[in-house]
Amino acid sequence: MKQEILFQMKSPYRDDFKIQGFRFGEGEKSVAIVGAMRGDEIQQQFTCSQVVKNLIELENEGKILPGHEILVIPSANHFSMNINKRFWAMDNTDINRMFPGYDKGETTQRIAAALFDEVRGFKYGIQLASFYMPGEFIPHVRMMDTGFQNVKLAKKFGLPYVLIRKPKPYDTAVLNYNWQVFDTQAFSIYSGDTDTINKESAKIAWFSILRFLNSMKIIDNKIHDGFNSCVLSDNELETIKSDQAGILYNLRGAKDEVKQGDLLAKILDPFTGAVRSEIYSPVDGTIFFAHDKPLIHQNTLMYKIVKF
């Protein structure tokens, strides 16, 4: 393993900002893995660190197969993580809205350009991603329907679900989309959490990455096959929104199987504790996403359910 500084920038008063890469093996540019690009993606950083730990062990055992190069970048934005900010510490811009970047542009455009310069040209690209809504997901692989996506490959992660969604205009500036445009098979792994570490779901995510690398014959690390992934599009999920605002009392969470009519949550009056609303499942299915903050706005996404 070679630990390299891929990008370095001076700050007026803070320590230098550095993006570090961990490079394994030599040969074809096989896989690039990117962890936290936002300051609150602690689960993603942790997951990526475990991938690095496992790859170091595999390399020591000679189990990284010849002819493959793997690049892991656990963090591209610790300047924000260290001060509890989600977006870039100085101007609050989002590095993951700056791809493919511009090396003569603004700071986060330059960071994105430097990062993309390192990760483009790999055969496969894996990003540990997060969602802008607070909540917990079933671990899944997410792909954009760009016409370049390869669902068969996505299933090799062995996660319960592969979700395909139509890109929106802002998606054209995210890493995953640009990877695909530049001929890299790109996958976003959602492991469930963002600003807290959930070791169980993180383990599912890093095992899925090792499973994929094994399946692609990049490493020799036999682990169980995982799930026969169910492939979904976003519009196949049943969406439940809050009809009231208040304190959210969740009774069911992500991964739970539910029956039509099951009580999923209550929304309580924050002054009297009276029940303002009871949220029932409209279908039989599995909860794919569950809002998990204690306060909820009206008309806000609470659950997404995969129908049986």
Partner 1 sequence: MIKTIISEGLPVDEQLLIRKKVIQNGTGPKRICIVTGTHGDELEGQFVCYELTRRLNENLRFLDGTVEVYPALNPLGVDSVTRGIPTFDLDMNRIFPGDKYGHLIEHTAYEIIQDLRGADMVIDIHASNIFLREMPQARINVQMSKKLIPYANLLNIDFIWIHDAATVLESTLAHSLNIIKTPTIVVEMGIGMRITRDYGNRLVDGILNMMRKMKMWSGPISKEISKPMLSTTGDVCFINADVSGIIIPSVSHSVDVKKGDLLCQIVDPFEGVILQNILSPVDGVVFTLRTYPVVYEGSLIARIFSKSACIEDL
Chain contacts with partner 1 (rule: CB under 8 A) = 9-12, 86-87, 90-92, 97, 104-110, 132-133, 168-170, 172-173, 239, 241, 244-247, 270-271, 295-301
- In degrees and rounded to multiples of 5, residue 262 shows phi and psi of -65, 140
Type and span of the H or E element at 163 = strand 161-165
Tell me the closest approach of the beta carbon of residue 86 to partner 1, in angstroms. Answer: 6
Cβ proximity to partner 1, 80 vs 221, nearer residue: 80
Cβ proximity to partner 1, 80 vs 201, nearer residue: 80
Tell me the closest approach of the beta carbon of residue 180 to partner 1, in angstroms. Answer: 14
* Cis, peptide link before residue 100, omega less than 30° from 0: yes
Cβ proximity to partner 1, 3 vs 15, nearer residue: 15
Cβ proximity to partner 1, 2 vs 307, nearer residue: 307
Contact 123, 186 (CB under 8 A): no
Cβ proximity to partner 1, 104 vs 224, nearer residue: 104
Tell me the closest approach of the beta carbon of residue 103 to partner 1, in angstroms. Answer: 9
Tell me the closest approach of the beta carbon of residue 299 to partner 1, in angstroms. Answer: 5
| Structure token pair of residue 230 | 């169910």
**Could you tell me the CA-to-CA distances from 126 to 48, 243, 272 in Å, in that order?**
10, 37, 47
Tell me the closest approach of the beta carbon of residue 270 to partner 1, in angstroms. Answer: 5
Contact 262, 281 (CB under 8 A): yes
Whose tokens are 């016409």? That residue is: 147
Q: Any bridge partners for residue 156, and if so which? A: none
d(C-alpha 74, C-alpha 37), whole Å: 9
